[in-house]
Amino acid sequence: MSSATLSSPAAVQAAGPQARAESLRVRQRAYVRAIFVLDTVVLVLAVLGAYLIRFGTSEPRGRGSDISYLIVGPALVLVWLLSLKLLHCYDDRVLGYGADEYRRVTSASLRLAATVAITGYIADVGVARGFLALSFALGIAGMLVARFAARKRLHRARSRGAGWSRQVLVVGDTAHVLELVHTLRREPYAGYQVVGACIPDALLAPVPQRLGDVPVVGSFRGIPDAAAATGADTVAVTASGELTATRLRRLGWQLEGTGIDLVLAPALTDVAGPRIHTRPVAGLPLIHVEAPEFRGARKFVKGLVDRSFSLIALTLALPVLAVIALAIKLDSRGPVIFKQVRVGQGGKEFGVYKFRTMVVNADALLAQLAASNETDGLMFKMRDDPRVTRTGRFLRKWSLDELPQLANVLFGHMSLVGPRPPLPSEVARYDGDVARRLLVKPGMTGLWQVSGRSDLTWEDGIRLDLYYVENWSLAADLTILWKTFGAVVNSRGAY
């Protein structure tokens, strides 16, 4: 079967390992080519736009007007694309997931801009500085937006089982293999599909084995052969007492020249990159993990940004708040604002403000609906909750009921981004790990909201909250706020 015939996800899965691997390689190369074409189109438009903004449709005048921009423009595009290539911006190992792709594009572009500026100054080339500045500003912004759009399309394809993904052979003890498989499958859009596992010799059975639905294809003695047989392009090594440093080094040597990547999955999970630093000590790449930061200058800046933004947002949103209040009043009897006791940073209770979306006796009716709870854990969620009013359904769909929480942010009870503010009854049943959510202020939005909200399980919601607590940063907050807009527009998990 040729790779051209493997067009559907079902056909790819039904094919043999080698045919499936070849089909995925074809898709991978097609995606890289598409990114290159996107970059080219963006850069051409950026240079053309910069010229029109700087000079309009008239001929350039003044110093350097004798320079032909019909040569400068295409030359800049070609050198820019070469710079992106040299700095590995088309490396498939960074495309499609993580921030490294965006960092490389930005770094390559800024380095080129600095080189052009220095070269132009030394050689006294009279290219208009406004033209160059506009070209680089438009080009960088355009490429980041284009790659973001391409990545979202790739993520949707991967979630459907289509798109190109890395084929992973997992190596390690049984328990660690199962945990890594679960972690990789939890986020299918990341593009890591497990095709097999290798376990220690002592755990092998004389009959074919499976770990869940993952076939065991060999032991530690034949990892390269197992990778070739399954069509894997990545070997992910997790914890095992038998995988000594010497065996890992030899495995790296065996995989040299095969096109198969070797990655190590540490036992420490849910720690973001900025907290991890690798330092070589006596030939060992020791991983240093910094402690999470819960106070200091960055916390002060975060609080300042929170209160400033909430004050501006409340002022601008006053007309919208008035319209919503009137709609609630006309729809059902009761107060417009619903105040509920929640638990904030350090276990301190506060009153969270929300627009009322339920009937006034909603709490009294909760016991009657307990059997209809559609989520696990300590929360109550019901997709068609009869206590929700007509206006309340609309407000919940677009998250407008949470706008009064800007006042909580202004008063310092909450942050714009943080864990979900829990009820006292939930906190009373927290164990030691879950209680770490209370180390930071709760947020109006957070990883839980941009990852599915009510569609998440209790366990996944807690995992995301704890991840934020351990790895928060101002840059991550801005990213979450940006993603919140998309989550609200798409109404994901809102009910």
Q: What is the pLDDT of residues 111-168, one digit of tens each?
A: 999 999 898 888 877 788 888 999 999 999 999 999 999 999 999 888 887 778 899 9
Q: Which residue has the higher pLDDT, 436 or 57?
A: 436
* C-alpha closest to that of 198 among 129, 153, 257, 260: 260
Average predicted confidence (pLDDT) for the chain: 85
The per-residue pLDDT for 128 is: 83
Biggest CA–CA distance in the chain, Å, is: 83
DSSP string for residues in 115-180: HHHHHHHHHT----HHHHHHHHHHHHHHHHHHHHHHHHHHHHHHHTT-S--EEEEEES-HHHHHHH
Q: How far apart (Å, rounded) are the C-alpha atoms in residues 429 and 420?
A: 16
CB 53: neighbour CB atoms within 10 A? 13
Residues 457-461 have a mean pLDDT of 79
The string of pLDDT tens digits covering residues 185-202 is 888 888 899 999 999 987
The pTM for the full model equals 0.72
Residue spans per domain, the chain: 17-159, 166-269, 296-361+385-490
pLDDT-based confidence at residue 5 (cuts at 50, 70, 90): very low
The string of pLDDT tens digits covering residues 319-347 is 999 999 999 999 888 899 989 999 999 99
Residues 207-229 have a mean pLDDT of 90
44: Cβ contacts below 8 Å, ≥ 6 apart: 77
Region of 296 please: left (phi>0), alpha (psi -120 to 50) or beta: left
Helix (H) or strand (E) holding 288: strand 284-289
For the domain covering 166-269, report its CATH number: 3.40.50.20
Q: Which residue has the higher pLDDT, 480 or 17?
A: 480
Q: How far apart (Å, rounded) are the C-alpha atoms in residues 483 and 453?
A: 13
The string of pLDDT tens digits covering residues 68-127 is 778 889 999 999 999 999 999 999 888 988 888 999 999 999 999 999 989 888 887 778
Phi, psi of 201 (to 5 degrees): -55, -40
Cα Rg of the chain (Å, integer): 27
Per the CB < 8 A criterion, the answer to whether 399 and 483 are in contact is no
The per-residue pLDDT for 395 is: 92
Q: How far apart (Å, rounded) are the C-alpha atoms in residues 39 and 87?
A: 14
Please state the separation of Cα 359 from the chain's center in Å.
37
104: Cβ contacts below 8 Å, ≥ 6 apart: 87, 88, 89, 94
The string of pLDDT tens digits covering residues 25-52 is 888 999 999 999 999 999 999 999 999 9
The string of pLDDT tens digits covering residues 378-417 is 566 666 777 889 999 999 888 899 999 999 999 999 999 9
Helix (H) or strand (E) holding 218: strand 214-218
pLDDT-based confidence at residue 7 (cuts at 50, 70, 90): very low
pLDDT-based confidence at residue 246 (cuts at 50, 70, 90): confident
The per-residue pLDDT for 349 is: 95
DSSP helix/strand/coil, 477: helix
pLDDT of 1 over the 60 cut: no
The residues with which 170 forms a beta bridge, in sequence order, are: 197, 236
Angle at 107 between CA 36 and CA 280, to 5 degrees: 115
Q: Where are the alpha helices (DSSP H) in 160-235?
A: 174-186, 223-230
Q: How far apart (Å, rounded) are the C-alpha atoms in residues 25 and 232?
A: 11
Phi, psi of 161 (to 5 degrees): 90, 5
* C-alpha closest to that of 106 among 76, 80, 129, 140: 140
Per the CB < 8 A criterion, the answer to whether 342 and 348 are in contact is no
Burial (Cβ within 10 Å: 0-12, 13-18, ≥19) of residue 193? buried
Q: How far apart (Å, rounded) are the C-alpha atoms in residues 219 and 17?
A: 19
Helix (H) or strand (E) holding 254: helix 245-255
pLDDT of 14 over the 60 cut: no
Q: How far apart (Å, rounded) are the C-alpha atoms in residues 266 and 463?
A: 18
